[in-house]
Amino acid sequence: MSETGTRKRPALHVEEIAAGERAGALDEAELAAIRASNAAILAAHPAAAVAAEVGRRAGQRMAERRARRQRMAWYGAPTLAAAAAATVVLMRQGPEVTTTPEPSVFGDMSPGESKDGVRIKGLASHLVLHRQVGETAELLRAPARAGAGDVLQVSYVAAGARHGVVASLDGAGVVTLHFPAEAGGSTALQQSGAVRLAQSYELDAAPRFERFVFVTAEAPIDASRVVAALKMLAPFADATTRPLALPAGWAQSSFLVEKVVP
Protein backbone atom coordinates (compact mmCIF):
# COMPACT_ATOMS: atom_id res chain seq x y z
CA MET A 1 0.00 0.00 0.00
CA SER A 2 1.38 3.41 -0.92
CA GLU A 3 1.92 6.26 1.51
CA THR A 4 -0.99 8.13 -0.13
CA GLY A 5 -3.39 5.30 0.64
CA THR A 6 -5.97 5.11 3.34
CA ARG A 7 -3.50 4.22 6.10
CA LYS A 8 -2.72 7.29 8.20
CA ARG A 9 0.96 8.24 8.09
CA PRO A 10 2.84 9.24 11.26
CA ALA A 11 2.92 12.99 11.83
CA LEU A 12 6.76 12.89 11.71
CA HIS A 13 6.68 11.42 8.21
CA VAL A 14 4.22 14.06 7.08
CA GLU A 15 6.48 16.83 8.39
CA GLU A 16 9.55 15.26 6.74
CA ILE A 17 7.73 15.03 3.38
CA ALA A 18 6.65 18.66 3.69
CA ALA A 19 10.24 19.69 4.44
CA GLY A 20 11.59 17.68 1.52
CA GLU A 21 13.45 15.28 3.79
CA ARG A 22 11.40 12.23 2.81
CA ALA A 23 10.06 11.12 -0.61
CA GLY A 24 6.32 11.14 -1.05
CA ALA A 25 3.31 13.29 -1.76
CA LEU A 26 0.82 14.89 0.57
CA ASP A 27 -2.90 15.10 0.05
CA GLU A 28 -4.99 18.18 0.75
CA ALA A 29 -5.89 17.02 4.27
CA GLU A 30 -2.25 16.53 5.21
CA LEU A 31 -1.22 19.88 3.73
CA ALA A 32 -4.02 21.60 5.60
CA ALA A 33 -2.87 19.97 8.84
CA ILE A 34 0.70 21.12 8.27
CA ARG A 35 -0.41 24.72 7.55
CA ALA A 36 -2.58 24.75 10.65
CA SER A 37 0.25 23.40 12.81
CA ASN A 38 2.72 25.99 11.49
CA ALA A 39 0.24 28.79 12.10
CA ALA A 40 -0.33 27.62 15.67
CA ILE A 41 3.41 27.44 16.36
CA LEU A 42 4.01 30.91 14.96
CA ALA A 43 1.10 32.30 16.96
CA ALA A 44 2.46 30.80 20.15
CA HIS A 45 6.09 31.65 19.37
CA PRO A 46 6.44 34.78 17.19
CA ALA A 47 9.66 34.86 15.19
CA ALA A 48 10.79 38.08 16.82
CA ALA A 49 10.27 36.66 20.31
CA VAL A 50 12.10 33.45 19.41
CA ALA A 51 15.03 35.42 18.00
CA ALA A 52 15.17 37.59 21.13
CA GLU A 53 15.16 34.53 23.39
CA VAL A 54 17.92 32.88 21.40
CA GLY A 55 19.98 36.06 21.62
CA ARG A 56 19.34 36.35 25.36
CA ARG A 57 20.47 32.79 26.04
CA ALA A 58 23.57 33.21 23.88
CA GLY A 59 24.47 36.40 25.75
CA GLN A 60 23.94 34.67 29.09
CA ARG A 61 26.28 31.82 28.13
CA MET A 62 28.97 34.29 27.07
CA ALA A 63 28.62 36.19 30.35
CA GLU A 64 28.96 32.94 32.31
CA ARG A 65 32.12 32.03 30.41
CA ARG A 66 33.64 35.46 31.10
CA ALA A 67 32.78 35.12 34.80
CA ARG A 68 34.49 31.71 34.95
CA ARG A 69 37.62 33.09 33.31
CA GLN A 70 37.69 35.97 35.79
CA ARG A 71 37.34 33.59 38.74
CA MET A 72 40.17 31.43 37.42
CA ALA A 73 42.37 34.48 36.99
CA TRP A 74 41.49 35.68 40.51
CA TYR A 75 42.25 32.32 42.13
CA GLY A 76 45.46 31.93 40.15
CA ALA A 77 46.78 35.36 41.07
CA PRO A 78 47.56 34.56 44.77
CA THR A 79 49.39 31.40 43.69
CA LEU A 80 51.54 33.32 41.24
CA ALA A 81 52.13 36.02 43.83
CA ALA A 82 53.16 33.44 46.41
CA ALA A 83 55.55 31.82 43.94
CA ALA A 84 57.05 35.21 43.14
CA ALA A 85 57.42 35.97 46.85
CA ALA A 86 59.11 32.62 47.43
CA THR A 87 61.53 33.38 44.61
CA VAL A 88 62.35 36.74 46.17
CA VAL A 89 62.93 35.11 49.56
CA LEU A 90 65.23 32.50 48.07
CA MET A 91 67.17 35.14 46.20
CA ARG A 92 67.54 37.14 49.39
CA GLN A 93 68.59 34.14 51.45
CA GLY A 94 71.27 32.99 49.03
CA PRO A 95 73.88 35.72 49.68
CA GLU A 96 73.40 35.37 53.46
CA VAL A 97 74.83 31.83 53.53
CA THR A 98 78.43 32.16 54.68
CA THR A 99 81.27 29.87 55.70
CA THR A 100 82.96 32.11 58.25
CA PRO A 101 85.25 30.46 60.83
CA GLU A 102 83.52 29.22 63.96
CA PRO A 103 84.15 31.28 67.08
CA SER A 104 85.40 28.34 69.12
CA VAL A 105 85.53 24.56 69.20
CA PHE A 106 82.61 24.62 71.61
CA GLY A 107 80.24 25.71 68.87
CA ASP A 108 81.11 23.05 66.29
CA MET A 109 78.56 21.36 64.10
CA SER A 110 78.98 18.47 61.73
CA PRO A 111 78.61 18.97 58.01
CA GLY A 112 75.50 17.00 57.05
CA GLU A 113 73.45 17.72 60.18
CA SER A 114 71.31 20.65 61.23
CA LYS A 115 71.82 22.57 64.46
CA ASP A 116 68.98 20.67 66.11
CA GLY A 117 70.60 17.32 65.34
CA VAL A 118 68.25 16.31 62.54
CA ARG A 119 69.95 13.64 60.50
CA ILE A 120 70.25 14.07 56.76
CA LYS A 121 69.31 10.94 54.82
CA GLY A 122 72.33 8.79 54.03
CA LEU A 123 74.59 10.31 56.71
CA ALA A 124 76.82 7.72 58.45
CA SER A 125 78.31 7.86 61.95
CA HIS A 126 81.60 9.78 61.82
CA LEU A 127 84.03 12.04 63.64
CA VAL A 128 84.45 15.78 63.29
CA LEU A 129 87.77 17.44 64.25
CA HIS A 130 88.62 21.07 64.86
CA ARG A 131 92.00 22.64 65.57
CA GLN A 132 92.05 25.46 68.09
CA VAL A 133 93.65 28.53 66.52
CA GLY A 134 93.67 31.40 69.00
CA GLU A 135 90.06 32.24 69.77
CA THR A 136 88.67 30.43 66.74
CA ALA A 137 88.33 26.83 65.63
CA GLU A 138 89.46 25.52 62.27
CA LEU A 139 87.43 22.67 60.83
CA LEU A 140 89.76 19.91 59.60
CA ARG A 141 89.20 17.77 56.54
CA ALA A 142 90.58 14.24 56.50
CA PRO A 143 93.35 13.53 55.84
CA ALA A 144 94.33 16.62 57.85
CA ARG A 145 97.82 17.88 58.60
CA ALA A 146 98.86 18.97 62.10
CA GLY A 147 101.93 19.11 64.25
CA ALA A 148 103.05 18.52 67.80
CA GLY A 149 101.43 20.97 70.21
CA ASP A 150 98.29 21.47 68.12
CA VAL A 151 95.13 21.24 70.21
CA LEU A 152 92.35 19.22 68.62
CA GLN A 153 88.71 19.04 69.62
CA VAL A 154 87.10 15.73 68.70
CA SER A 155 83.34 15.48 68.20
CA TYR A 156 81.23 12.52 67.12
CA VAL A 157 78.07 12.38 65.02
CA ALA A 158 76.04 9.35 66.09
CA ALA A 159 73.72 9.51 63.06
CA GLY A 160 71.35 7.05 64.73
CA ALA A 161 73.93 4.70 66.28
CA ARG A 162 73.13 4.01 69.94
CA HIS A 163 76.59 3.21 71.33
CA GLY A 164 80.13 4.17 70.40
CA VAL A 165 83.81 4.30 71.36
CA VAL A 166 86.38 6.87 70.21
CA ALA A 167 90.09 6.02 70.39
CA SER A 168 93.27 6.92 68.52
CA LEU A 169 96.53 5.30 67.45
CA ASP A 170 99.69 7.32 66.83
CA GLY A 171 102.84 6.61 64.83
CA ALA A 172 104.65 5.38 67.93
CA GLY A 173 102.07 2.62 68.48
CA VAL A 174 100.41 4.33 71.46
CA VAL A 175 96.63 3.98 71.77
CA THR A 176 94.55 6.62 73.59
CA LEU A 177 90.93 6.13 74.66
CA HIS A 178 88.94 9.34 74.19
CA PHE A 179 85.35 8.16 74.77
CA PRO A 180 84.31 6.93 77.19
CA ALA A 181 86.77 8.52 79.58
CA GLU A 182 87.66 5.07 80.94
CA ALA A 183 87.24 1.54 79.68
CA GLY A 184 84.30 0.73 81.97
CA GLY A 185 82.35 3.92 81.21
CA SER A 186 79.02 4.19 79.41
CA THR A 187 79.22 4.04 75.63
CA ALA A 188 75.73 5.51 75.06
CA LEU A 189 75.76 8.18 72.37
CA GLN A 190 73.82 11.45 72.21
CA GLN A 191 71.69 12.18 69.14
CA SER A 192 72.21 15.92 68.91
CA GLY A 193 74.37 16.70 65.92
CA ALA A 194 78.12 16.86 66.49
CA VAL A 195 78.73 16.08 70.16
CA ARG A 196 82.13 17.26 71.39
CA LEU A 197 84.09 15.12 73.78
CA ALA A 198 84.68 16.44 77.28
CA GLN A 199 88.43 16.89 76.81
CA SER A 200 90.37 18.39 73.91
CA TYR A 201 93.53 16.56 72.79
CA GLU A 202 97.03 17.99 72.35
CA LEU A 203 99.19 16.21 69.83
CA ASP A 204 102.57 15.04 71.10
CA ALA A 205 105.79 14.48 69.18
CA ALA A 206 104.90 10.95 68.03
CA PRO A 207 105.87 10.62 64.35
CA ARG A 208 103.89 10.18 61.15
CA PHE A 209 100.24 10.18 62.14
CA GLU A 210 97.40 10.14 64.65
CA ARG A 211 94.49 7.98 63.51
CA PHE A 212 91.19 8.59 65.30
CA VAL A 213 88.66 5.74 65.15
CA PHE A 214 84.93 5.78 65.89
CA VAL A 215 83.37 2.36 66.54
CA THR A 216 79.57 2.15 66.80
CA ALA A 217 77.01 -0.53 67.61
CA GLU A 218 73.40 -0.90 68.70
CA ALA A 219 74.35 -2.48 72.05
CA PRO A 220 76.91 -1.35 74.69
CA ILE A 221 80.52 -1.74 73.54
CA ASP A 222 83.48 -3.07 75.51
CA ALA A 223 85.92 -0.19 74.98
CA SER A 224 88.88 -2.39 75.91
CA ARG A 225 88.23 -4.51 72.82
CA VAL A 226 88.48 -1.42 70.62
CA VAL A 227 91.76 -0.43 72.31
CA ALA A 228 93.13 -3.93 71.80
CA ALA A 229 92.10 -3.97 68.12
CA LEU A 230 93.89 -0.66 67.57
CA LYS A 231 97.08 -1.91 69.22
CA MET A 232 97.09 -4.89 66.86
CA LEU A 233 97.42 -2.49 63.92
CA ALA A 234 100.58 -0.78 65.18
CA PRO A 235 103.13 -3.14 63.54
CA PHE A 236 101.57 -2.91 60.08
CA ALA A 237 102.82 -0.50 57.43
CA ASP A 238 99.20 0.30 56.50
CA ALA A 239 98.16 1.03 60.07
CA THR A 240 96.65 4.31 58.90
CA THR A 241 94.06 2.55 56.73
CA ARG A 242 93.81 -1.09 57.83
CA PRO A 243 90.36 -1.93 59.25
CA LEU A 244 90.09 -3.00 62.87
CA ALA A 245 89.22 -6.64 63.60
CA LEU A 246 85.87 -6.17 65.34
CA PRO A 247 82.82 -8.32 66.13
CA ALA A 248 80.07 -8.60 63.54
CA GLY A 249 77.57 -5.77 63.86
CA TRP A 250 80.15 -3.18 64.97
CA ALA A 251 80.75 -0.37 62.48
CA GLN A 252 83.89 1.72 62.23
CA SER A 253 85.07 4.98 60.68
CA SER A 254 88.39 6.78 60.86
CA PHE A 255 89.79 10.30 60.72
CA LEU A 256 93.49 10.49 59.82
CA VAL A 257 95.73 13.36 60.93
CA GLU A 258 99.14 13.35 59.26
CA LYS A 259 101.95 14.69 61.45
CA VAL A 260 104.08 17.49 60.03
CA VAL A 261 107.50 18.52 61.34
CA PRO A 262 107.74 22.25 62.12
pLDDT for the residue numbered 192: 86
Spatial neighbors of 241 by CB under 8 A, at least 6 apart, are 254, 256
Amino acid letter, 169: L
Distance CA 16, CA 20 (A): 6
Distance CA 48, CA 100 (A): 83
pTM over the 0.75 mark: no
Whether the CB-CB separation of 167 and 226 falls below 8 Å is answered with yes
pLDDT for the residue numbered 46: 64
Return averaged pLDDT per consecutive 10 residues of the chain, 262 residues in all.
54 63 69 73 64 68 64 44 36 33 36 39 84 91 92 96 97 96 94 92 92 97 96 95 94 94 74
Nearest to 211 by CA among 260, 173, 245, 159: 173
Instruction: Please state the domain extents for the chain.
Output: 11-44, 47-94, 105-259
What is the pLDDT of the chain when averaged over all its residues? Answer: 75
